[in-house]
Amino acid sequence: MSDQDINIAASEASSMGPTHDYRDDLRELLDKAHNEYGLTRYRLCKQMGIDSGTLSNVIAKRRHFSMEKLDQILGLLGYRLKFETDPARTPKKIMS
């Protein structure tokens, strides 16, 4: 796939409207876990073996978690990472 094909695909995807950032959902889940179960971000980080600054940077949208790390966090919060098709969106054919 050429750079031009990637730019075209990205342009078409962005014209579909704003995308949803998982970090907003993660922030809400962390707040919910804290309010309902007293789970602090510090304790979550200790359980995961990550620095609390890393979590703060992800929540502040300065960094991303890998899929594996995100799945691990969600598991500790009682959720799981799941991908499913969206009938409202159809895949675009990208020329190779």
CATH number at residue 66: 1.10.260
Token pair listed for 25: 């959902």
Query: What's the whole-model pTM score?
Result: 0.65
Q: Which helix (H) or strand (E) holds 69?
A: helix 67-76
Quote the pLDDT of residue 7: 53
Full residue range of the structural domain in which residue 70 is found: 21-76
Is residue 50 a part of any domain in this protein? yes
DSSP E strand boundaries for the chain: none
- Would you say residue 16 lies in a domain? no
Give a yes or no: residue 46 inside a domain: yes
Number of domains in the chain: 1
Q: Flag whether 54 is in a domain.
A: yes
Is residue 56 predicted with pLDDT exceeding 90?
A: yes
Helices 22-37/52-59 angle, 10° precision: 120
Higher per-residue confidence, 6 vs 70:
70
Angle at 71 between CA 82 and CA 75, to 5 degrees: 100
Mean pLDDT of the chain: 82
Q: How confident is the model at residue 21 (pLDDT cuts 50, 70, 90)?
A: confident
